[in-house]
Amino acid sequence: MIYQHIKGLLQQALDVELIAIADQTYVRNQVLALLHLKSYPETMEHHTEESIPNLLEKIIAYAVENSVIENVFDDKEILSASIMDCFIPRPSTINEIFQAKYAISPGEATNYFYELSKNSNYIQMNRINKNIQFKASTIYGEMDITINMSKPEKDPEQIKRERELKHDITYPKCLLCIENEGYVGRTGYPARANHRLIQIPLLDEIWYMQYSPYVYYNEHSILLAEKHRDMKIGKETFERLLAFIEKFPHYFIGSNADLPIVGGSILSHDHYQAGKYEFPMTNPETAFTFTLEKFSNIHASVLNWPLSTIRLQSDNKELLVEVADYILTAWKNYSDEHAQIQAFSGDTPHNTITPIARMRENKFELDLVLRNNRTNEEHPLGIFHPHADVHHIKKENIGLIEVMGLAVLPARLEEELAEIQNFLLDQPCTVPPYHEEWANQLKAKYGKQSDLEQVDSILKKELGDKFAKVLGDAGVFKEQSEYERFIQTLN
């Protein structure tokens, strides 16, 4: 069967134009070498017609069964990526094709690269399809809910290997460095042999675009700096974001905040996230508009959104950058004891911004989400961070994706919500202690249930409300008067 799987993989690669007919023999021989196979049958009755990810899984299973590799997570990942690397052009060729397609249209260029990243199994669709996704109605409109099931669990031998590691390798410096392109991987570090980057000039630097291996939304891409340097939100951030959407007007782009607690998971490498997706935050209602006296020709508004967000719109890119920088500078130094906002503790800053840029009706649009990472005794994980009453659902940082209304919730919730379902149906269950209060509240609110679909609908609705509360906790302004005091400072 292994030869049928290899032939099937070659045929699928031909069908999706990863390779040309003239490449078949070369690629086949490269794959044979990786599997320690010395020959290939001249004739074959048939080949398996499955997807590339499914065929890869069967080939890796063969490699384990025949002692080509050990049955260890990283060994399987390394071989899988190395096999697919045989099917992908070198970075220079991919960049040339991208630029040729960009000359036709930006959308054609990104579509080419996105399909390549999926077909090469760099974006692992089999795993991503395991995610539980639905929309939930809340007071702020529909929210996107994702229970993240795509991150594979490490096997015991993998965990043992990582614990026994003695050496300290610092190459690549982090998961976002350009040195990851084509990196085979090692124990405790992901395989990236089939990883490719697109060069994107921004201002006076070359940045690099890739797609996330675990896409949370359509064309979930990452734009990363060539140099390994810390995240920093400043005037150049706004310039780069607007320059990017000018090049790729069919995408949005945004940045995590640059401070702990309110920032993303990787603050050590300057990067942004982009994509072709309409988030719940894209079209919320406007709470109110206001005038900036120094920039009266900029359209400014406050969104009806749980996180405190100022939206700016203009057809003048340079003016929009100037206004955004003006607001950022003011916010970094802004304190309001009535709203528990303190700009500094000694020399330690607390205020920053999560910015998001998009094109709308040929105008540039910037959302400035005000963030503060201060802690106190009541909220040791953050005053403007998910509070203790929602930690049973979401305890992690609220990064860019969540800010825009897409919840990325932990995998544990799949089994835990099933237990709560049983509880509401008066069936045998084991509700985790940290969910008990919530489960009792639900039973008191909805009473005894007998229909599984109805219970499922209830839990989705209530999960959406919990996520809205999570985002509301992260909002620095809770009342319009608090916004108005800040706007008064701006003016």
Dihedral in degrees, nearest 10, Cα atoms 375, 378, 383, 385: 110
Q: Please compute, for residue 257, the number of CA atoms within 13 A of its CA located in the half-sphere on the CB side.
A: 26
d(CA 477, CA 384) in angstroms, rounded, equals 10
Q: CA-CA distance, 43 to 56, in Å (whole number)? A: 22
Q: Which residue has the tokens 């639905």?
A: 134
Tell me: pLDDT of 35 over 90: yes
Choose among 326, 327, 324, 334: nearest CA to 372.
334
Give CA–CA dist 231/194, Å, rounded: 26
Separation between Cα atoms, residue 120 and residue 53, nearest integer Å: 9
- % of the chain at pLDDT higher than 70: 99
Distance of CA 183 to the CA centre of its chain: 21
Token pair in block for residue 101: 């397609």
Q: Tell me: the pLDDT tens digits for 388-410? A: 999 999 999 999 999 999 999 99
- The pTM of the full predicted model, rounded to 2 decimals, is 0.94
Instruction: State the pLDDT at residue 110.
Output: 98
Q: What is the pLDDT of residues 114-168, one digit of tens each?
A: 999 999 999 999 999 999 999 999 999 999 999 999 877 666 777 787 777 767 8
**Bridge partners for 408 per DSSP:** 146
| Interatomic CA distance for residues 395 and 133, integer angstroms | 19
pLDDT of amino acid 43: 85
Paired sense of beta strands 299-303 and 309-314, if any? antiparallel
pLDDT at 448: 86
Residues with Cβ within 8 Å of 130's Cβ and at least 6 positions away in sequence, in order, are 149, 150
Mean pLDDT across the stretch 178-189?
Answer: 95
The set of residues, in sequence order, having a beta carbon less than 8 Å from that of 432 and lying 6+ positions away, is 392, 416, 419
Find where tokens 């090049």 sit.
247
pLDDT recorded at residue 130 = 94
For 372, the enclosing helix (H) or strand (E) is strand 363-372
449 near 424, Cβ under 8 Å?
yes
Spacing of C-alpha 491 from chain mean position: 36
Counting every residue, how long is the chain? 491
Asked if the model's pLDDT at residue 269 lies above 90, the reply is yes
- Coil, helix or strand at residue 138: strand
pLDDT tens-digit map of 67-118: 999 999 999 999 999 999 999 999 999 999 999 999 999 999 999 999 999 9
Mean pLDDT of 290-303: 95
Q: What is the crossing angle of helices 156-164 and 73-85, to 10°?
A: 90
Tell me, what's the pLDDT at 48? 75
* The pLDDT of residue 46: 72
Q: What is the DSSP string of 196-242?
A: --EEEEETTEEEEEEE-TT-SSTT-EEEEESS------SHHHHHHHH
Going by C-alpha positions, the residue among 416, 401, 393, 403 that lies closest to residue 476 is 403
Mean pLDDT (whole number) for 181-208? 96
Assign 266 to helix, strand or coil. Answer: coil
pLDDT tens figures, 309-363: 999 999 999 999 999 999 999 999 999 999 999 999 999 999 999 999 999 999 9
Backbone φ, ψ for residue 384 (5° rounding):
-110, 60
pLDDT number for residue 94: 98
**Nearest alpha-carbon partner for 117 in 51, 13, 244, 210:** 210
Amino acid at 304: N
Can you give the pLDDT at residue 158? 75
pLDDT at 154: 67
Long-range contacts of 450-458 (CB under 8 A, 24+ apart): 450/425, 452/421, 452/425, 455/421, 455/424, 455/425, 456/421, 458/424
Q: How far apart are CA 223 and CA 254, in angstroms?
A: 10
CB atoms within 10 A of CB 294: 11
DSSP 155: P
Mean pLDDT (the chain) is 95
The residues pairing with 221 across neighbouring beta strands, listed in sequence order, are 211, 274
Contact 263, 257 (CB under 8 A): yes
Task: Indicate the SS3 state at residue 398.
Answer: coil
pLDDT of 169:
85
